Structure 1
Amino acid sequence: MGFLSLSIWMPIVFGVLLLVVGKDENAGFVRAVALLGALCSFVVTLPLYINFEIGSAAMQFVEKAPWIGRFNIYYHLGVDGISMWFVLLTSFITVIVVLAGWEVITERVNQYMGAFLILSGLMIGVFSALDGMLFYVFFEATLIPMYLIIGVWGGPNKIYAAFKFFLYTLLGSLLTLVALIYLYIQARGSFDIATWHALPLTMQEQTLLFFAFFTAFAVKVPMWPVHTWLPDVHVEAPTGGSAVLAAIMLKLGAYGFLRFSMPIAPDASREWAWFIIALSLVAVVYVGLVAMVQQDMKKLVAYSSVAHMGFVTLGFFIFNELGISGGLVQMIAHGFVSAAMFLSIGVLYDRVHSRQIASYGGVVNTMPKFAAFALLFSMANCGLPGTAGFVGEWMVILGAVKYNFWIGFAAASALIFGAAYTLWMFKRVYLGAVANDDVKGLTDIGAREFTIMLLLALATLGMGLYPKVFTDVMDASVMQLLQQVSASKLQ
């Protein structure tokens, strides 16, 4: 068993263990085991970076064993420069989420912690799978723990939100299953993704495959106009659920474009790039405007996520190195920043039990340490230079200008909306005089919450000040992907 298998199965084993032996009567023990499981799972992902061969586009840490022999399905794992960082991001955010739910979750603690640990392993499986059917199994299995997290520990309309999340994402994936089976037949009985990358396909085949994959991945990102499930889910989900959903689950769709749509259907990807670019710009501009009128902090940040992920898909489909690398960097940065934004809202909600911006005002007077962290994360959400939020968006805008000046100009102008809605929310929630008795009675963050905020702040600043650590790993794989997309498959 290699590091990738450990990264996948260690959190799942800990999660199942908690479901079996944990009870609310021994909640302290359950939390300790959950934290131990999350930390061990994070530690076993570190060798993936330490031993990663920079400059190689080949799959590394490869594991392959027969799984379902009759259909030639393999348990086949590996990571390259595109996927490696998402494995680390997943295990890191899981530690944060376990800490965030430490005191907040008081009922069914073992099931809550277990669901997050199992979800962590399944998401790492998505980023590591090199067999098409294995990818699909992991991709769909992530729905189950997240559905339960929303439906059991969510807000008043949690059942509605959970069903909407499940149906949107499941229905979107059904056409993808058809595409995978078609590729299996074309590859003469192989689910190997690398084999699919080399298949000669007609333009009609590529177009049909492209849109079959698009239905699943666009919903997962989510792209406009299939984004409407996201705000409802974020509002109802518990804080940890929102953090994981925004930080990692949205990345599964964007990752799918890179691993399936672009290399398997390169001619169709170039042919329909204008369509993806148009939807991305609508997400960046229109959804940014929608975010400006939100009164619920979670809804505002949810719409903000749609706008930021618009930069990701824009970067991918302009087909240059700056764009694709910028999209990948933006995915990682959004993982840190969106998790921080949702967890910050959770800190306030745990105390006041309201997400309405109007319920706050002058929080800086009673929670100065927390307000300092919130300011940093708000600035990162705006794309301030020196923070993680700047690097990816800057690279995508540079790549977009290189591709077409007006597309780059439209994307850059949308940054104004991001600054407007984020800073306006910060001003109304944190600045000014104390607005009411609820704010007057607030207590500043303790050691646990301070640790969570500090870890996310260090990640946000570290990536913003020295992104080379991230880009060096992905450069070779990005160049190989560009070569695959630029080569025609038409026969």
Structure 2
Amino acid sequence: MVSHFPWLSALWSMPLIGAGVIMVLPATQRHLAKCTALMTSIAILAMAVALAVQFQPQGNEYQFVESHIWIPSFGAGYILGIDGIALALVLLTAVLVPLILLAGWNDAGGRGRLVHTYVALILAVEGMVLISLIALDVLLFFMFFEAMLIPLYFLVGSFGGTGRSGSDVAAGAAPRAALKFLLYNLFGGLIMLAAVIGLYVVTAHSGVFGSGTFDFRAIATAVSSGQLGINPAALNAMFLGFMFAFAVKAPLWPFHTWLPGAAVEATPAAAVLMMSIVDKVGTFGMLRYCLQLFPDASVTFRPFIITLSVIAIIYGAIVAIGQTDVMRLIAYTSISHFGFIVLGIFVMTSQGQSGSTLYMVNHGISTAALFLIAGFLVSRRGTRTIAAYGGVQKVAPVLAGTFMVAGLATLALPGLAPFMSEFLVLIGTFTRYPAFAVLASVALVLSSIYILWLYQRMMTGPVTDGNDKLRDLLPRELAVVTPLIALLLVLGIYPKPALDVINPAVDRTLITIGQQGPATAPATPMTAEGPHP
């Protein structure tokens, strides 16, 4: 799609401009700051929808392309473009941020400029996520991939740990969780930086480009055609550098330990921003950069990564069952779900990768619904402890009902959005590696245990002391929950529009990396060298 209007530049810069405007508003204009943030996010959603309407799934691989010279001495350019995979995640981001702002309407309190800072940080994260999804220059992607850590650090460390009482609040827990989040991800970024530099050096010495380049499209084309001639050891090292950073960001077991603490200490809105939006940049990076820049290394390390994915699926589900903290339980379910996403990516089948991309979208919606509804409940009761609840459905039936729908979506009940994505991942996995598909299916049973048991303990039975005066969902909260439940139902019953956008992009990725789709690829034994011919 050729367009004279810089759609993509406007898309990612609008939230950053909105954040800047909010920060210069007078400190007393707290309501205006929140309204400005909400209106900005709605304008971004409108722009994302306009992009989706104009996008042609069967057209050019990357559309609305913008290309300008940035740092010519380093071969870096300001290059933006969007494909079907990125478009799906752009729409997810644009849909969730207005709901996150509404859900966290009162999170920042009312002192000084805290409200301004809180909503501006959320918009800043949105802008950095958007440019990470649409960047077609490796250096440009890396810069914003790392930069988004800073506003998230402050959202967790400065605004987390509030709204609870008693044993749930540990002194300094939120700053410690924020620091752990930052250090883990900065270390992953440092390893990736070495790989980015190595990639530049390889392109500079290849003789293909004349000098080094960070142009993703040019490098991917050269790799696919075999023109670069990279030493396999160097190729493997660079792949591991990228993969490590993405595995930490996602996060994939065993690099997940920062997530539960950060998720439970952040405000529910900030936690959803992190788990439903930011973490998807990690799995998106695997699909775009790891596979397309390093296809041979991806095949080499595929057995190891698939093994980690299956461990994550089962581990996250088992640990979730034993949790006594409702927010920590939901955080561990995300670790299991990210295992499914990574599994679908690295089985390298069209069904698996389409399922993974759809799973990113559906996980974002279902986790947002479950976490935010749980957050509304915790804000009323003042504790995250599951045992403190009971009989909630008798005093807050709408809250309990929506919690049940979100929970059933999390366990991939047929008819709700995550079912189709999980089904596609399992089908794509079974095509190549049936044993791993069977192991991953164990999580279906485990997820039923932790979700249904959670609902039974919190929502059914007699009303526990202290819960008798719990309010049901307020109009503002219903405005947050209703669109999420509607999306879970619509995408569960009719996922075709999303798959029509995703499938052509996935097929192009598989062609680029030289992998057959599941319709023609026989099941093959797993070896360190990849599938046998």
Q: TM-score range by the shorter chain?
A: over 0.9
Q: Distance in 2 between matches of 1:79 and 1:383?
A: 29
Q: Work out whether 1:111 is the aligned partner of 2:117.
A: yes
Deviation at 1:205, TM superposition (A): 2.0
**Cross-structure match for 1:458:** 486
Deviation at 1:57, TM superposition (A): 5.2
**Cross-structure match for 1:354:** 383
Within the candidate set 44, 68, 73, 2:76 is matched to: 73
Deviation at 1:372, TM superposition (A): 1.2
**Cross-structure match for 1:133:** 139
Once the two structures are superposed, residues 411-448 of structure 1 have per-residue CA deviations (whole angstroms, 9 ceiling, x without a partner) of: 112111111111111111111110112x1011111111
Once the two structures are superposed, residues 40-68 of structure 1 have per-residue CA deviations (whole angstroms, 9 ceiling, x without a partner) of: 11111111110010223510011111222
**Cross-structure match for 2:63:** 60
Q: Distance in 2 between matches of 1:356 and 1:174?
A: 37
TM alignment of 1:367-446, pairs within 5 A: 367-437=396-466, 439-446=467-474
**Cross-structure match for 2:504:** 476
Q: What letter is aligned with 1:179?
A: A
**Cross-structure match for 1:467:** 495
Once the two structures are superposed, residues 168-189 of structure 1 have per-residue CA deviations (whole angstroms, 9 ceiling, x without a partner) of: 0010111211111121222222
Q: Distance in 1 between matches of 2:465 and 2:512?
A: 59
**Cross-structure match for 1:4:** 8
Q: What letter is aligned with 2:214?
A: F
Once the two structures are superposed, residues 83-121 of structure 1 have per-residue CA deviations (whole angstroms, 9 ceiling, x without a partner) of: 111111111111011101113332411100000011101
* 8 Å CA contact retained: 1:8, 1:122: yes
Percent of counterpart pairs with the same letter?
35
Q: Work out whether 1:162 is the aligned partner of 2:178.
A: yes
Once the two structures are superposed, residues 210-251 of structure 1 have per-residue CA deviations (whole angstroms, 9 ceiling, x without a partner) of: 111111011011111110000011111111111111111111
Q: Distance in 1 between matches of 2:433 and 2:14?
A: 46
Q: Distance in 1 between matches of 2:219 and 2:187?
A: 24
* 8 Å CA contact retained: 2:313, 2:336: yes
Deviation at 1:335, TM superposition (A): 0.5
Q: What letter is aligned with 1:287?
A: G
**Cross-structure match for 2:524:** none
Within the candidate set 95, 98, 110, 2:101 is matched to: 98
**Cross-structure match for 1:84:** 87
**Cross-structure match for 2:167:** none
Which is helix-richer, 1 or 2? 1
> Match of 2:77, SS?
strand
Q: Work out whether 1:124 is the aligned partner of 2:130.
A: yes
Q: Work out whether 1:334 is the aligned partner of 2:363.
A: yes
Aligned length: 486
Deviation at 1:464, TM superposition (A): 0.8
Q: Distance in 2 between matches of 1:479 and 1:39?
A: 32
**Cross-structure match for 1:175:** 191
**Cross-structure match for 2:40:** 37
Q: Distance in 1 between matches of 2:386 and 2:26?
A: 37
Q: Distance in 1 between matches of 2:72 and 2:512?
A: 30
Q: Distance in 1 between matches of 2:26 and 2:367?
A: 30
Q: What letter is aligned with 1:202?
A: N
Q: Distance in 2 between matches of 1:459 and 1:328?
A: 16
Q: Work out whether 1:17 is the aligned partner of 2:21.
A: yes
The normalised TM-score by structure 1 is 0.97
- Structure 1 gap ranges (5+): none
* 8 Å CA contact retained: 2:374, 2:403: no
Deviation at 1:282, TM superposition (A): 0.4
> Match of 1:179, SS?
helix
Q: Distance in 1 between matches of 2:277 and 2:309?
A: 19
- Relative to 1, partners in 2 of residues 1:487 and 1:322: Cα closer, same or farther, differing over 3 Å? closer
> Match of 2:35, SS?
helix
Return structure 1 stretches of 4+ with deviation > 4 angstroms. none
Deviation at 1:270, TM superposition (A): 0.8
Q: What letter is aligned with 1:131?
A: D
Q: What letter is aligned with 1:129?
A: A
Within the candidate set 181, 200, 213, 1:190 is matched to: 213
Q: Work out whether 1:26 is the aligned partner of 2:32.
A: no
Deviation at 1:354, TM superposition (A): 0.6
> Match of 1:276, SS?
helix
> Match of 1:432, SS?
coil
* 8 Å CA contact retained: 2:349, 2:515: no
Q: Distance in 1 between matches of 2:420 and 2:460?
A: 28
Q: Distance in 2 between matches of 1:22 and 1:485?
A: 53
Q: What letter is aligned with 1:138?
A: F
Once the two structures are superposed, residues 120-150 of structure 1 have per-residue CA deviations (whole angstroms, 9 ceiling, x without a partner) of: 0110010000011110111011101100100
- Relative to 1, partners in 2 of residues 1:287 and 1:487: Cα closer, same or farther, differing over 3 Å? closer
* 8 Å CA contact retained: 1:83, 1:128: yes
- Structure 2 gap ranges (5+): 162-170, 205-211, 517-533
Deviation at 1:7, TM superposition (A): 1.2
Aligned-pair RMSD on alpha carbons? 1.3
Once the two structures are superposed, residues 8-48 of structure 1 have per-residue CA deviations (whole angstroms, 9 ceiling, x without a partner) of: 0111111111112142x322111111111111111111111
* 8 Å CA contact retained: 2:250, 2:338: yes
* 8 Å CA contact retained: 1:336, 1:459: yes
Q: Distance in 2 between matches of 1:286 and 1:258?
A: 23
* 8 Å CA contact retained: 1:388, 1:461: yes
> Match of 2:105, SS?
coil
